[in-house]
Structures are given as C-alpha cells and as structure tokens.
Amino acid sequence: MQITETVPPETLFSDYAYFSSFSDTMVAHAKSIAQRLVVDRKLSKNSLVAEVASNDGYLLQWYREAGVPVLGIEPAQNIAKVAREERGIPTISEFFGIDVATRLAEGGQQADIIHANNVLAHVADLNGVVAGFRAMLKPNGVAVVECPYLKDLIDHVEFDTIYHEHLCYFSLTALDRLFRSHDLEIVDVERLKIHGGSIRIHAMPAGAEPVRESVTTLLAEEAEWVDDAASYADFGARVENLRKDLVGLLDRLKSENKRVAVYGASAKGSTLLNFFGIGKDQIDYVVDRSTVKQGHYTPGTHLKIYDPVRLTEDQPDYCLLLTWNFADEILKQQQTFRDNGGQFIIPIPEVKVA
C-alpha cells in the first residue's frame, strides 16, 4: 500500500524536527531490543552495529554503553550533530542506499546488525536501501527493521498515519517479496504494540539461518486478506464516522463553554486536525514536549505550540491527545493535570475520554 506523491527527501529530512529521545517510550523500547541483541548475537568490541536514520542516538547509545562499536547514518544534519556532540555517537549525514553501503563495506565497516526503525515507510528508493542492507551486512549479519503494520492501520482506523512522509504501509507479504529480491530472507518477525501496532523483522543473507515459524504463520494469516480489496473497502467510511464522533464531541464541549487544548504537535496530529477541520474554533492551543517545536505553530491550523507545563498552569477542561500512540506515557506524565480535573480525549481507534 502506498501514496502516489513523493516529496524530495532533501526537502523533508535535511533539517528535521523529530527527535526520538523526547519520548521515554521510544528510548525504553530501543534499550530493550539493544540489550537483547547484544546477548542473542554475542556482540563484542569486535562487532559493528549500524543504524539507518539513527536520529539523535536514542538507540545506538545502548550498544555503545555495552562496549559495542556503532555507526549512525542520519541525513538530517541538525539531528546528526546532536548525536555526535551530545551522545558521542559516530554519525555520518547521508541518505543511506547502495552507494553509501558499498563504500562503507569496502572501507571495512561491515555490520553485524543494521537497524532501521520507522524509516522504510519514508523511502522512495526501497530497492536501493534494501540492496544497501545486503551490501553492508556480514555473511551472518542481520537487518532488524521496524515499521507500522498495515493490518493494525486498517483495523484501528489509523488514518492519521497516512501523510506525505509515509510513502508505504507494509504487510509482511510485501516485505518478504522486497527482501527476497535482494537475496535477503526474513527469518523472524514480531508484532509490537508501539506506534499503534508495528512489526519488527529480522532479515539475513539467504540461507544464513532457518526461517522461523513466526514468519510462515503470519504470511499464512495475511494470505487470507492482504490481496482482497474487500479488506480495505470500508476504511474510508470508518474514518468519516470517527470524524463525526470527534467533531461532534468538540462542538458539544464548546457549546458548554469548556476549554480544550491539544497535546502533540506531531505530523499525524496535523493530518487529523486538517482533515477533520478542527482548528481555533474548537482548540485553544497545543503543547508538546519537544523544545524544538515549542514557540512554533501547527501547519494549516496555526495553533501556537507551548511547553506541556502550560496544562497545569492554565488547566483547560480537556486535552485532545493527538500523539495517542504514546498515550500511556503522556497520561502518566500529566497526572497533575488529571488530578486537577483535566481529562484527555483519545481519538483513535475510537473517541474516548480518559
């Protein structure tokens, strides 16, 4: 599944506003898989772990802490600078592909593990990136790739995940075909709760390890729906129902003179606000934990972005949670706001008040 327009990556990613370390959930998630793979893959000072779209070093820091050499590959120069200067992560500012991978491999930087978290969806040249995995991996190396899962997107009406940065929405079936075309075999797959439902695949040079039952089982499940147009037919109607529910709730609250703020100046949040036609008539302002976004305005809706401390200082009646994929983390962080009577509106997969 894919969208039909591609914005040049240099426009999107050379200077970028998303820093993974602002999310405690993402940092903990990264620490968990890093610590697991250090043990499972028997990594040492003689190993190399690389990450494509390595952001600010939120993942590679845990390998470095374990004494494993690392290399970040991050095209956003502002973010790569933070990784190098604040976390000491060796990071090159380039777009990963077959040319970069070949150059690194020929320079002695073949990898035991290549991570690629939530990056394949952003890539127009999928074949170049996956070919790059193959070129840079050691014969028994593994590419560990995470991406939002198409089945969860459809089932949970996650329409706000669909925007210009996300070119593709992956099933395991599609990933299996893509990786096999570059002599890589998916040997294991995990379903994850993060980002509203994701999959993590482990891909290795073909024949390096047996394919596990997790892969064959999920491929068999997908065969029941992935190529069937009926599986997707009512998605648009379900989005419209969600729009009616949320806009109806906000309009009712406004008529009752309730004040509503927004938590999360995210890309998915901008998608929801603009598509649903929600703006200054219903919303007072936006808060976001990212200091990079504070003081700026939301695209299209032009709502000013503040530090989340404003919620407890100003105490609106409700807060619409647009970064619903981190709901547990944010609700815990904003316990004071809730203790003072504030309530969160969670819009997906269905509108509810918490």
CATH number of the domain within which 124 lies: 3.40.50.150
Which residue, 213, 231, 249, sits at the end of a domain? 231
Q: Count up the domains in the chain and report the number.
A: 2
Residue pair 37/60 in contact (Cβ under 8 Å)? The answer is no
pLDDT less than 70: residues of the chain: 18
d(CA 140, CA 62): 22
d(CA 150, CA 172): 9
Residue pair 49/43 in contact (Cβ under 8 Å)? The answer is yes
1 within domain boundaries = no
Helix (H) or strand (E) holding 144: strand 137-148
d(CA 53, CA 30): 14
Does one domain contain both 25 and 155? yes
4 within domain boundaries = no
- The percent of the chain in helix, strand and coil, each rounded to the nearest 5, is 45, 20, 40
128 within domain boundaries = yes
Does one domain contain both 47 and 175? yes
- Range of 330's domain? 235-353
pLDDT digits (tens, 9 = 90+) for 7-53: 988 888 777 776 777 778 888 999 999 999 999 999 999 999 999 99
Does one domain contain both 265 and 309? yes
Does one domain contain both 41 and 164? yes
2 within domain boundaries = no
Does one domain contain both 278 and 149? no
pLDDT at 18: 67
Does one domain contain both 215 and 292? no
Does one domain contain both 202 and 242? no
51 within domain boundaries = yes
Does one domain contain both 224 and 242? no
d(CA 243, CA 249): 10
Does one domain contain both 254 and 214? no
pLDDT digits (tens, 9 = 90+) for 172-223: 999 999 999 999 999 999 999 988 899 999 999 999 999 999 999 999 999 9
Which residue, 180, 199, 231, sits at the end of a domain? 231
Does one domain contain both 81 and 184? yes
Which residue, 186, 204, 231, sits at the end of a domain? 231
Rg (CA), the chain: 21
pTM for the full model? Answer: 0.90
Does one domain contain both 183 and 275? no
pLDDT at 68: 98
185 within domain boundaries = yes
Does one domain contain both 240 and 226? no
